[in-house]
Structure 1
Amino acid sequence: MSDSPTDALQRQLQALTDQFAERLRNELPSLARHADELAEARDMTRLTPLMQALREQLHKLAGSAGTFGFPQLGEQARQLERQADLWLEALEPGQHSLSSFIGAVHRFAREGLVHTGDDQPLAPFNAQAAGRRVLLLDPDADAAARTRQTLENFGYQVSLCEAIDQLPTCIERNRPDALIASLLDGVDELARIARLQDARPEPLPLMVVAADADFATQLTAVRAGAQGFFTRPLDITQLESRLERSLNRQQGEQYRVMIIDDDTDLVARYSLVLRSAQMQVEQLDDVTRLFETMQAFNPEVVLLDINMPGCSGPELAQMIRLHDDWLRVPIIYLSAETDVGRQMDALLKAGDDFITKPISDRALVSAVYSHAQRARTLSLALARDSLTGLLKHAGIKEQLALEVQRAHRSGRPASVVMLDIDHFKKVNDSHGHAAGDNVIRSLANLLRQRLRRIDSLGRYGGEEFMAVLPDCPASEAKKVFDQIRRHFADLVFSAGEQSFHVTLSAGICETDGTRPAGELLERADKALYAAKHGGRDQVRVAS
């Protein structure tokens, strides 16, 4: 009996998919080899053409993978292509961003090979997981082992260095993204680290653990480039939180800048300079579109000319400040106005800074970057849970409501997941609240690493978490969270001399285009309740 046309088509499509999978088995190792060539290159005349060639490979892969049934692999390639573009467009490409990119390409090639030819989808790529190699300098072997285990639970790759004399060799061999230095003789050892940092093209983010917190030690730490300072006994959760903020500051999403100026030539130049510094730029030449543009782009800094036809800069700034959602957005006036009185008058009318034209490219980037960094830090501090860095209760519920509306409009599925750490009270009672905090932080980091950038994560309360997964049916969400559940159960936690394991339970509910956010949340919570009362350490989907 001959195949139906549909069966024949499916067979041909499958043959093409198999052929593409075979191509991937050759192409992915090739990407890794080209990344190695990048790592070995020493000057821009060699680096630039290598990066351009690698970018072209990624571009082709991003365009073809989805067609052949590898959509997530294609999206990962597209993200790496964007990283390559940002590096190529930067005025002063950084060695740190290059090292992070090379590591991301290696992970992409390795994980892609694991999943090639497998029915399971490739684990979603999260760029936040890039750049998590940490070098730990600690002469106390036992303390170093405990710190290493905890940081590895948090998702870091940790290498150890036993003595400061070995530090240059350890840095060269391990190419870390950050350095944690636990010191015995604070000032002298920090002075040596400072000399090492000065000799690097770009200093490593440095966390210092010292016996004393006196003025001289902290001053020397700052001169060595320290971004965090801690004393013994070490609060590892606090250290990791500061470490993550430092790495995210270098590798996080681009700052968003909106420019409002009627001089189109100047706007074009400002835009080019800021984009070259890896910022997103939105230009607004029609001020009547102010509100819709602010809403859609959600800028972190607004650059605003003072004198414009029809509406002045201070008037626009005051209109922005009428809206609570934009109160934290810094407004920088860019103007040729040199009269100090008029400058002060503009600042009093809702401005945050005043830059007089002309301004050098470097000064423009520095001013915008510093304001954007401060604005993002403040926003994250207000919107994020201090222990986990995830959205707070109200924030994750708001994300659920937004995603439900989007899913209803698009007709695409979305899933809400409620998670709970099993027997968490026993963890606190048996091992102490510091150990409990480590468990919570470890799960938060695991979720961040295993989910996509488009997914939303929040600490719903205590040991309970919530995730919102756009464009993801419940069946797919269950596969992902079963993997997370198994990985979490394998983590080894320590408290003093004791080691222990922890499990989690989860409940999932999928949107159906009719139920409101509150009902979906309630059904996911009931599925979680069923998982808890069905024996724990399991994932249930709402019926």
Structure 2
Amino acid sequence: MTRILLIDSNPDDLKKMSRYLMEESYTVIPAGSSADALAYLQETDIHIILIDLDVKDPPWKELAIEFRKRYFQRPLQIILSAHEKRRLKDALEEGADDYIQKPVRKLEFQTRIKAAYIRLKSQMRLFEEREFFRQAVKQEEELASKILDRHLHLKQTLEVMETEKEELERSKAKLERIAKYDMLSGLLNRMSLFSIIDIEIDRALRTEDPLSGIMMDIDHFKPINDNYGHPVGDVVIKEIGRLLQETLRKYDHAGRYGGEEFFMVLPNTYKDQAFTIAERFRLSLMDCAIDTGDLELSVTASLGVAQYHSGESREAWIARADAAMYRAKQKGRNLTMME
């Protein structure tokens, strides 16, 4: 049964949305405040959360961050609601999955919730397939270790290695099929990026190889959208994605973290090497004139580099790269800073 948590300080809106959802046979948990919502979260699993932008103590953004922390290993859909459409569009860049504009209209509301349910099912399949891939790789590595430990004949070893190679190729092909990309930038979307990060962290812990990450934010991106329109901003995002794919190595990964922020995962790379790669991209972007059709734009970016520390969480690693990037912003932008 799909459980939906409604968080809205307006009792009339809360009652109306609850009624619409119960008509569709969802399990509805209404919360009139942020505190009530956090209390419910301690007691039951939630699949979809609808948050009104006007909730307080804590405000909606802190509330959404807390939900993401608690559900980082499980699929979750977060939908925002408010009367002002511009507030919703701006808030969507903070990591929500969709929004609903008030006053709520029954058909649109039920349709958007249905779409969220479909996305949730897709995320669940992705989690299951990622776990399958992880277990397959683990089994292959265990098998290879046993073979080497027993000192099998060279011919037998080569035959097993060939079989393992075929299995690994099939697993790799399966991973590529399930990978989901951001349609605008051509890079990994947020969910796929997190999956890749988890896989590379597991690999780094097993092999004790270095792993580094780069957080990148486009400088002054909001004025580009405000002054030239969102279609021009879309062209900038596309060009950033293209340039990243040209700059990074074939075994590196890049994804759109959210809005104008991007995160790069660099396996078997120390932070000094990552800094050199980040600088190469920054200088290439600075020298690149982006043709938007009606005009050419010069765009810069601020980047932060952080090397993964053994045992830390994905969130802690990303936060350190993010902090380094913000130091670059504070020092005047168009810079690369190391943790």
TM-score normalized with structure 1 length: 0.31
Larger RCO (CA within 8 A; separation ≥ 6):
2
Structure number with larger C-alpha Rg:
1
